């Protein structure tokens, strides 16, 4: 266990929920975006209706208001965008996604300041993104919120204080978050390096150990049972 993982584990009961869903009581659907999910073969991921129908049709079929999943998942869905292309494609997901309607509020899990924000508007990217900086036990770390509404970043200022439990952002719609069905990409980052308003949410599988060390499991904060 790394230092930041140990700190998050010791403080896991202190975090405020990042969304309005009660994952210990309300049913939720776990999405699978790996090659093992044969249902994805029938989904046109670059077509708004097809992708949205798959996400929200799955939730309706399972009588769930929210879907989750993704940390450490080796996904096939990123081939739809050049953002993730390289000699070895980036396909290993470094965050947890929470799939729910546009406009769903987002709350700060702990006291924070605004580290940075940006509209990452390339096709398949995050769209509007906010990164918060936190400190626990004298150690700084960051949380990233991707696929937000543009209104989420309109009145932000770098260094602004955001108290634990404050509603500070909202899920974006399909166009705002650059052709993804509404959801939140939530990621924990220890060292931001020189990144500002953006940070890789997907890595090359061959670099898994390095990236997962710097981006520990977000469920240490989310506390979603069974994932």
In whole angstroms, give the CA distance from residue 20 to residue 176.
21
Structure confidence by residue, pLDDT tens digits, 7-34: 999 999 999 999 999 999 999 999 999 9
Beta bridge partners of 132: 114, 143
Query: Is residue 63 in a domain?
Result: yes
**CATH number for the domain including 92?**
2.70.70.10
Query: Is residue 93 in a domain?
Result: yes
Q: Is 209 helix (H, G, I), strand (E, B) or coil?
A: helix
| pLDDT for residue 106 | 98
| pLDDT for residue 44 | 87
Task: Give the domain range for residue 177.
Answer: 3-222
Q: What does DSSP say about strands 28-30 and 66-69: parallel, antiparallel, or unpaired?
A: parallel
Query: Is residue 154 in a domain?
Result: yes
The structure tokens 């249902």 sit at 39
Contacts of 216 (CB under 8 A, 6+ apart): 2, 4, 5, 8, 188, 190
76 band by pLDDT with thresholds 50, 70 and 90: confident
The structure tokens 């309005």 sit at 20
The answer to whether the CB of 54 falls within 8 A of the CB of 43 is yes
Contacts of 175 (CB under 8 A, 6+ apart): none
For residue 85, is pLDDT > 50? no
99 against 38, higher pLDDT: 99
Q: What pTM value is reported for the model?
A: 0.93
Query: Is residue 87 in a domain?
Result: yes
Query: Can you give the length of the chain in residues?
Result: 227
| pLDDT for residue 95 | 97
Domain count, the chain: 1
Average pLDDT rounded to a whole number, residues 199-210? 94
For residue 70, is pLDDT > 90? no
Query: Is residue 89 in a domain?
Result: yes
Query: Is residue 227 in a domain?
Result: no
Average pLDDT rounded to a whole number, residues 79-95? 64
The answer to whether the CB of 150 falls within 8 A of the CB of 80 is no
Query: Is residue 105 in a domain?
Result: yes
Cα dihedral angle (64, 200, 92, 177), rounded to 10 degrees? 30
| pLDDT for residue 84 | 39
Average pLDDT, the chain: 92
Give a three-class secondary structure readout of 70-123: CCCCECCHHHHCHHHCCCCCCCEECCEEEECCCCCEEECCCCEEEEEEEEECCC
| pLDDT for residue 87 | 58
Query: Is residue 127 in a domain?
Result: yes
């Amino acid at each position: 266990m790394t230092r930041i993982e140990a700190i998050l584990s010791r403080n896991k009961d202190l975090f405020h929920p990042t969304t309005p869903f009660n994952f210990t009581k309300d049913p939720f659907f776990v999405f699978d975006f790996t090659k093992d999910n044969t249902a994805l073969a029938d989904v046109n991921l670059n077509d708004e209706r097809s992708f949205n129908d798959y996400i929200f049709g799955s939730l309706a079929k399972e009588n769930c208001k929210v879907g989750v999943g993704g940390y450490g998942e080796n996904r096939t869905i990123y081939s739809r965008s050049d953002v993730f292309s390289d000699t070895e494609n980036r396909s290993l997901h470094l965050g947890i996604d929470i799939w729910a309607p546009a406009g769903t509020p987002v709350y700060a899990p702990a006291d924070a300041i605004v580290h940075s924000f940006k509209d990452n508007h390339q096709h398949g990217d995050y769209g509007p993104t906010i990164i918060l900086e936190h400190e626990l036990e004298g150690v700084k770390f960051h949380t990233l919120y991707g696929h937000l509404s543009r209104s989420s970043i309109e009145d932000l200022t770098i260094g602004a204080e955001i108290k634990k439990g404050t509603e500070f952002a909202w899920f974006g719609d399909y166009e705002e978050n650059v052709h993804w069905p509404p959801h939140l990409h939530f990621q924990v980052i220890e060292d931001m390096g020189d990144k500002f308003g953006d940070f890789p949410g997907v890595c090359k599988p061959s670099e898994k150990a390095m990236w997962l060390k710097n981006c520990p499991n977000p469920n240490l904060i989310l506390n979603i049972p069974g994932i």
